[in-house]
């Protein structure tokens, strides 16, 4: 079972932990990350959620909850490795921002990063429990998926698809 550090609204670590599924107080937050990946062709590596997950079959950037003791960057690197089989370079990361999200019983602090990577598609190894498909997509393709209701838009999406690194 996943174990999480808890934070206050100002991203100060509390002397408390929680486990996935625990009900959090309104002033307790767990850390969640989004990891956007862009290549030299200005295409973004996006994934389609597995059918058994919340928001099934929706396209999104890679992300997830930080585990106990993990920094936001460490969580991004782990999620990318788990879901896509890619060893991403932490030095390629550009921080895009922080957002507070309020889900009843499970508020989170979302930290969003953009990474540079040129892994060829044939080298990507998806984690089938989490991901059913992946693709390198242009900004226009992502915007079309959003318009069609097939992409899970999130805070800092515009910054991610408009930032050059």
Question: What does pTM read for this prediction?
Answer: 0.95
Q: Taking residues 151-158, report their average pLDDT.
A: 92
The string of pLDDT tens digits covering residues 30-39 is: 999 999 999 9
Q: How much of the chain exceeds pLDDT 90, in percent?
A: 95
Distance CA 123, CA 82 (A): 14
Q: 139: number of CA atoms within 13 Å, CB side? A: 10
Q: Taking residues 138-142, report their average pLDDT.
A: 98
Q: Taking residues 4-13, report their average pLDDT.
A: 97
25: tokens are: 């107080």
User: pLDDT class for 154, splitting at 50, 70, 90?
Assistant: confident
The string of pLDDT tens digits covering residues 52-80 is: 998 999 999 999 999 999 999 999 999 99
């Amino acid at each position: 079972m996943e174990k999480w550090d808890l934070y206050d609204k100002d991203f100060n670590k509390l002397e408390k932990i929680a486990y996935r599924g625990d009900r959090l107080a309104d002033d307790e937050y767990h850390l969640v990350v989004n990891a956007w990946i862009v290549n030299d062709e200005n295409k973004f590596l996006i994934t389609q959620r597995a059918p058994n997950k919340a928001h099934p079959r929706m396209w999104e950037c890679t992300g997830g909850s930080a585990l106990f003791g993990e920094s936001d960057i460490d969580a991004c690197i782990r999620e990318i490795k788990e879901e896509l089989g890619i060893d991403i370079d932490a030095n390629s990361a550009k921080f895009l921002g922080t957002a507070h999200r309020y889900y009843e019983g499970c508020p989170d602090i979302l930290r969003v990063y953009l990474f540079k990577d040129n892994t060829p598609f044939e080298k990507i190894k998806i984690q089938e429990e989490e991901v059913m498909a992946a693709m390198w997509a242009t900004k226009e393709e992502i915007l079309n998926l959003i318009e069609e209701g097939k992409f899970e838009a999130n805070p800092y999406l515009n910054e991610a698809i408009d930032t050059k690194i």
